[in-house]
Structure 1
């Protein structure tokens, strides 16, 4: 059958969009390398190389370990990276909650970046297209050294001066323990530092909140609201995290209702479905949680129980871009919206931007690098004015839309002279792994 001139022209446009140095059917993964950038949280940046002139960039979750990704190298080498779902299904069984989901999630991002470069399309296109041209940012704001209401107000004013219209600030346990009479009792002595992690869900601290402690929190939130104004959305971090019992969280949340907070983050231990539901049902301020949850499977009971008001996955734990999109879409069925937790480099930041663009129920994306002078320099392709009036434009360039700035990465390595070194020691699996092509390798 002969082609018309219009058909030939359209075919040529499609072929021109595909990387001239790559043919997807012949594409094979040849290597996986890592560079660990020292930051407020280390950034283990990964690069997946192929037998053609194309590579994909990803990132293990902030403060995670590069080995979380390197352990999968023997499963990846020789595979066609365009088979993203098949590879993801093969490796996801070896990930886990929290930082242990970082390797699987970072590889997923790198694969989509690679495929986007091959076909000449932005990553959001693989997620079904975009609902917005710019993504709203909420700025993380660490607690001041001296946690006075005035100091809190100052740091929030500085965030607002950046043009942000959505700001998060910390309410840490020290706010109560440093307030005279803010708590009753004290933690027991001679316990190891990780002891709190092994308490029962919602057990909290043996030191309980007092009216003075609650009043101090009200003073802080009142000062923050006055400094930010009522045209800025505010939310809190470190609100509970298991430091407080469900009863204390509920007791603390009640006097804060008048300040119109967008959410109280992580009121209970991350794995406690019943505890989150108890708090969510009892208070008027929305709750947000989920940054430690891995894959759709761990979000399912929280969503179906409506144990939180706002889903808050971290893309580098929840399974990457497509899995997070599935989580958000499932939550939407139950009337839940989605905000994205994030504290990594510009590489994973742009992965979040693409994912946020494709989520219809999206609220805002966290930015945890606003105080880092070198953060923007780690990549090329990020405009100098990338953050404008609190929004980031969704890029239309192939893949993630950014590339490595090797010089800046070299300057900020955790260990000098370790940028993307060979990783042959990971070519042979440490255990028997099931490969995507159904061959078992010992």
Structure 2
């Protein structure tokens, strides 16, 4: 039977694999919130969400105190209905990141159950557009790295057949960002896609200056130039620059994406399955973006997003930031510059629960 018999949650801290800095913060650790659901017939599904250093215990409390008790006795097949029921229960705290992360941990566990029960991988059950998708590297582009380090990493990615790399921007002067991008562009040539990411560090005037300084070096996109709630500022920037504007990692509901798309403020959507509330709303955002002829290139979570990008027609890129290798038995496969969505039934993550338990903090 598909009736949920048991629902539990835990919090584990996973150390970052390398120093990661951007214009506004450092990646301290991955607070990983796992939800495990077991049905009456013994099928188990595991879902997760994350923070990069704070708030994990708040997500865990919301799950334990309010969401998980509601799941007992419910039919796990009713994924949309359960998402809406949980959302209604937390309406007083939506739209917000803590609630969205909690919903995502449950929703990905329900999708894991759905896929296992169907005997299908997530990439096929969520749409099945294709199994292999382009991947770009972020690990070699952090803000603290020197221009020589950026060039070395970009050349290695190009040699490996990858189609793109990301360079963090947001130095005190736009000329310094431009010099870093110029060094990479001159080294890799015109064919490699070079993304740039300002991590919400700019005012409108700063973003306009930054875009003007970067334009000669053909960035594939300028990501999160301003705070995510400044829709009108992003729309003004999008009208003023030839660089595509990418946003989405700091949005927590499909309605926020709709506002960006309707105003012409986003040329690339970077919806994050954990931060938007799970796979169920992620797919809604992806299809909404397709209706606007906009690409989807999600933020982080490559182990999950590879399957979702493969599922939809407008999925364009997976961001390569390894973070789960310490707690999984397998890692993302990349062949000839393409990330390969797992074929095993489920969401595609083979958790090593002993390793998770070793890092459990709550």
Other structure's SS at 1:42 match? strand
Ranges in structure 2 where 5+ consecutive residues have no aligned partner: 17-29
1:29 matched residue in structure 2: 5
Other structure's SS at 1:29 match? strand
Matched, 1:405 2:358: no
Match of 1:218 among 175, 178, 196: 178
Ranges in structure 1 where 5+ consecutive residues have no aligned partner: 1-22, 177-212, 419-442
1:87 matched residue in structure 2: 82
Distance 1:407 1:282 in 2: 52
User: What's the offset of the Cα at 1:278?
Assistant: 0.8
Match of 2:130 among 113, 129, 132: 132
After superposition, what is the alpha-carbon deviation per residue over 1:236-267, rounded to whole angstroms, capped at 9, x for unaligned? 12x151x3221221122113212221100001
User: What's the offset of the Cα at 1:89?
Assistant: 0.3
Other structure's SS at 2:15 match? coil
After superposition, what is the alpha-carbon deviation per residue over 1:360-393, rounded to whole angstroms, capped at 9, x for unaligned? 1111121222xx5xx335223x36x712233222
CA contact (8 A) 2:296 2:314 kept: yes
After superposition, what is the alpha-carbon deviation per residue over 1:318-361, rounded to whole angstroms, capped at 9, x for unaligned? 1222321211211222222111112x4xxxx4432221112111
CA contact (8 A) 2:11 2:31 kept: no
Give the alignment's TM-score, normalised by structure 2: 0.85
1:19 matched residue in structure 2: none
2:61 matched residue in structure 1: 67
Distance 2:149 2:294 in 1: 34
Distance 1:106 1:246 in 2: 35
Matched, 1:354 2:307: yes
Kindly report which structure 2 residues correspond to 1:268-279, keeping only aligned pairs within 5 A, or say none: 268-279=226-237
Matched, 1:365 2:318: yes
Give the alignment's TM-score, normalised by structure 1: 0.71
Distance verdict in 2 for CA 1:388–1:88, change over 3 Å:
same
Match of 1:390 among 337, 341, 349: 337
After superposition, what is the alpha-carbon deviation per residue over 1:37-92, rounded to whole angstroms, capped at 9, x for unaligned? 32222222221222221111111233352334334111112211111111100112
1:440 matched residue in structure 2: none
CA contact (8 A) 1:142 1:170 kept: no
Distance 1:291 1:158 in 2: 27
Distance 2:155 2:49 in 1: 32
Distance 2:326 2:85 in 1: 34
Other structure's SS at 2:348 match? coil
After superposition, what is the alpha-carbon deviation per residue over 1:111-151, rounded to whole angstroms, capped at 9, x for unaligned? 01012112212223442x31112122222236567554223
2:151 matched residue in structure 1: 153
Distance 1:132 1:357 in 2: 5
User: What's the offset of the Cα at 1:414?
Assistant: 5.0
Distance verdict in 2 for CA 1:290–1:401, change over 3 Å:
closer
User: What's the offset of the Cα at 1:288?
Assistant: 0.2
RMSD value, Cα: 2.3
Kindly report which structure 2 residues correspond to 1:368-383, keeping only aligned pairs within 5 A, or say none: 368-369=321-322, 375-380=324-329, 382=330
Match of 2:222 among 241, 264, 272: 264
After superposition, what is the alpha-carbon deviation per residue over 1:160-210, rounded to whole angstroms, capped at 9, x for unaligned? 4554322112113xx22xxxxxxxxxxxxxxxxxxxxxxxxxxxxxxxxxx
Kindly report which structure 2 residues correspond to 1:9-408, keeping only aligned pairs within 5 A, or say none: 23-24=1-2, 27-40=3-16, 41-63=30-52, 64-65=55-56, 66-70=60-64, 71-93=66-88, 94=90, 95-127=94-126, 129-141=127-139, 147-160=145-158, 163-172=161-170, 175-176=171-172, 213-237=173-197, 239=198, 241=200, 243-342=201-300, 344=301, 349-369=302-322, 375-380=324-329, 382=330, 386-408=333-355
